[in-house]
Amino acid sequence: MLPSCNMLLFFLIWITAYGNTLTISSTVNITDLDFEIFTGLTINSSCENTHQCFGKLVCFNGQCQCSENHIWNGTNCNGEKTFKSKCKQTAECETTLFCIYGTCQCAHMNYWNRNNCVTKKIFNDTCVNSNECRGKLFCQNGECQCPIDLFWNGNKCIFKHFEWQSCSSSMECAENLECRESLCQCSETEYWDNSKCSSRKSVNDACMKEGECGNTLYCARSVCQCASSDYWTGSTCSIKKDEHALCNSSLECKAKLQCKTNHCVCCEQDFWNGQLCERKRNITAQCQESVQCQDTLHCIRGTCQCDVTEYWTQTACAKNMCAIEQCLNGGKCQITEKRHTCVCTDGYLGEKCQYGDGREKYFLLIFHQTYSTPSPRILPTVNRMVKLSVFYFENNKNITVTLNSADNHYTLDSSVLMTDGLHQAGAEIHSNVPITLYGFLFVRDQSEGFFVLPTRYASTEYLIPSFTPYSVSYRSVFCLSSVYANTVIRIHFKIKDGTIEYDNMQYSNNQTLTLVLNKYTTFQISHTTDLTGTLIITSKPVVVVSGNIYNFINGRANVQPFIEMVLPTNQLDNVYIIPHLNYRLENTVRVIAVNDTNVALKNGNSRTRNVLKSRNFLDYLHTTISYVSSASDVMVHIYPHELSNAHGDAFMMTIPGINQYLYDYDFMVPTDFESFISITVPTDAVDGFVLDGNFVNLKNIFSISDGEHRFSSFSIPISSGPHHITHRDKTRFGVWIYGNYTSYEAYGYPAGMAFKT
């Protein structure tokens, strides 16, 4: 039953397996032991030595007991069963093992490490083989890892999550899903193609559903494309651009907007209503702003209309000059065709009726001193009958005079004649109808006349025109009279040489004489040298008469007074045509500058440019026709020279500029002279003059052109008395009246002129 060899084998195995030191005496005689089994003491029996104990019991602490790692099975001591041994109960198995299904095994969650059961390893623990790893963990690269489809949830490997399942880290998500916003999803640039995340498709790629197309793209008709409100920038869909946005192609622009010159714009006939290009609206249509209205229309008070400065021509708005610049002086604006015209009231002319025609009712008349004692006259232009009142400064007498067309002049009281200093010499003329008035000094051999400046145009700044006295006994002279009381007069002398004495004071060139003038007071200054350029500045309007007491130009014929009423500096012009004067082929033209200016002259074929300083003048010799133009207004006079055959003296005559011409003139020619009128007119209108109802036959026409200006001039003889001249084409022209008389006599004055109002 107990073969000793078996026993020994057992011992050997036991020793090999456990390596422990045996407490059993090696001297035991197996035969003895066998014998003892049947006779030995059982467990817990007192003993003195092992021999006494039954079977494999050993005597330990005076009792028969199983040796270590042996257990009592009720009859004998048996060695404990190791891992994977068959067993009936756990007690048979070594300490950490359990008898499970008849085999000693480690408990659940434990594994056998060759000595005992230890707790299985969890995720990331180092391992040698997969048994060591808990649950579905397996040993990979020396660490417990979940299988590829699983992840470690802290406790065990569980299946990874698919799209849209919750997660806390991307490890929890299957495939190349990533954990975003606690959900497993593909990256932004990818989509889930049922098994993995794939890159999203680009524009024009085939697609089956929405998410397959890249950001901003839509899957429409199985192709990735931008929404209809978008365009493809090359990398993304961007919303189509509104009006005015920068663009490179019309595809980038919304609705019907087109890309023109790199901007999204509607076509010309359209406007952008915020959503689309809409046809611009026609006149009277409703609107919110002007862009909604057709080309020239504006949105005014909710409807498309022409601007207030414009009018509707049935197809467009045209500038309504009437609305922009009203006609002046009561003129009525008329629109005919596409032009506006001012229809001026009587007495006015010019595009805006800005000029008065110089026919007025009030005149202050003064005469500067002349050679002898002439008969002072007025020559009013009288069509039918005129009632004048003549108020003399000297005696305050107001005389009423009735004249009719047979009366060529009215002779004034000699109290109007002047000498140097302060006087009450002059007359105020009042007419019941507007007239043109000339002043005339008549004395055989010394007559001269002038056009009277209507009081309405009297002003506060004058430059003195005169002619260089031929020698010391010939004087430059001017006189003035104030229109109102208490007028401060400042005379800034320009004296060619020497000084002027007044009120015990000596005034030399550049000095200023100041005096206060009362109404109906006259003041005269004269000098033996030229006073041309003397500047008069006054606090209230004054009238000025100027020239020479008498003068020669070449020393031929006889001396003769030069007299003209001076135009204020605000009634000058900058383009002048100097007329042809019959018999007079030698004339000095004097141009006086108000301000520093450039003056161009054309005389015959010669053309010159001159810089003229303020208050300086230039003289040139005029023969038939000449032309003066300047940057700013200048004053121009002509001084026809004496006739060598002693049939006419030199005289002085004012030249109005081309902007001062009238459409028609009523004028008076003095008696007792051989007289002419000279006319200047645009060359294309040289024909068509109507003098006293008859067409004028022309010969000897002289023409000049300079740039835009082409003018002609001619002279015709004229009889004494009143005349009327006009042009059938309503053309503005200049007229001068002049004449000579056998032996040493001449006169000249402009027939009339327009004044700036």
Ligand X SMILES: *[C@@H]1O[C@H](CO)[C@@H](O)[C@H](O)[C@H]1NC(C)=O
Residues that bind ligand X (CB under 6 A): 29, 31, 43-44, 73-76, 78, 123-124, 152, 246-248, 282-283, 294, 314, 389, 391, 398, 428, 430, 509-510, 569, 572, 583, 594-595, 632-633, 643, 645, 647-648, 674, 740-742
- How many residues are recorded in the chain? 757
**Helices vs. strands in the chain: H and E counts, helices first:** 3, 67
Provide the minimum distance between the beta carbon of 536 and ligand X in the complex, in angstroms, as a whole number. Answer: 14
Contact 518, 451 (CB under 8 A): no
Question: Which run of H or E residues covers position 10?
Answer: helix 4-18
Provide the minimum distance between the beta carbon of 57 and ligand X in the complex, in angstroms, as a whole number. Answer: 11
Provide the minimum distance between the beta carbon of 104 and ligand X in the complex, in angstroms, as a whole number. Answer: 17
Provide the minimum distance between the beta carbon of 116 and ligand X in the complex, in angstroms, as a whole number. Answer: 25
Provide the minimum distance between the beta carbon of 688 and ligand X in the complex, in angstroms, as a whole number. Answer: 28
Provide the minimum distance between the beta carbon of 251 and ligand X in the complex, in angstroms, as a whole number. Answer: 11
The residue (of 78 and 528) whose beta carbon lies closer to ligand X is 78
Provide the minimum distance between the beta carbon of 219 and ligand X in the complex, in angstroms, as a whole number. Answer: 26
By Cβ distance, which residue is nearest to ligand X?
Answer: 44
Question: Residue 178 — φ and ψ, nearest 5°?
Answer: -125, 155
Provide the minimum distance between the beta carbon of 4 and ligand X in the complex, in angstroms, as a whole number. Answer: 11
Provide the minimum distance between the beta carbon of 428 and ligand X in the complex, in angstroms, as a whole number. Answer: 5
Distance CA 602, CA 357 (A): 28
The residue (of 499 and 632) whose beta carbon lies closer to ligand X is 632
Distance CA 698, CA 716 (A): 8
Provide the minimum distance between the beta carbon of 683 and ligand X in the complex, in angstroms, as a whole number. Answer: 27
Planar angle of CA 331, 337, 338, nearest 5 degrees:
80
Distance CA 418, CA 551 (A): 17
The residue (of 247 and 342) whose beta carbon lies closer to ligand X is 247
Q: How far is CA 625 from CA 128, 181, 398, 451, 579, in A?
A: 130, 100, 44, 22, 5
The residue (of 27 and 606) whose beta carbon lies closer to ligand X is 27
Helices 4-18 & 30-37 angle (0-180, nearest 10): 100
The residue (of 596 and 729) whose beta carbon lies closer to ligand X is 596
The residue (of 583 and 663) whose beta carbon lies closer to ligand X is 583
Distance CA 99, CA 110 (A): 14
Token pair for 586: 């030698």
Distance CA 95, CA 646 (A): 170
Coil, strand or helix at 188: coil
Identify the burial level of 556 via C-beta atoms within 10 angstroms of its C-beta, where 0-12 means exposed, 13-18 middle and 19 or more buried. Answer: middle
Question: Residue 137 — φ and ψ, nearest 5°?
Answer: -65, 145
Token pair for 58: 């050993």
The residue (of 117 and 173) whose beta carbon lies closer to ligand X is 173
Question: Which run of H or E residues covers position 322?
Answer: helix 321-324
Closest CA to 740 of 665, 667, 642, 656: 642
The residue (of 389 and 424) whose beta carbon lies closer to ligand X is 389
What's the distance, CA 107 to chain centroid? 94
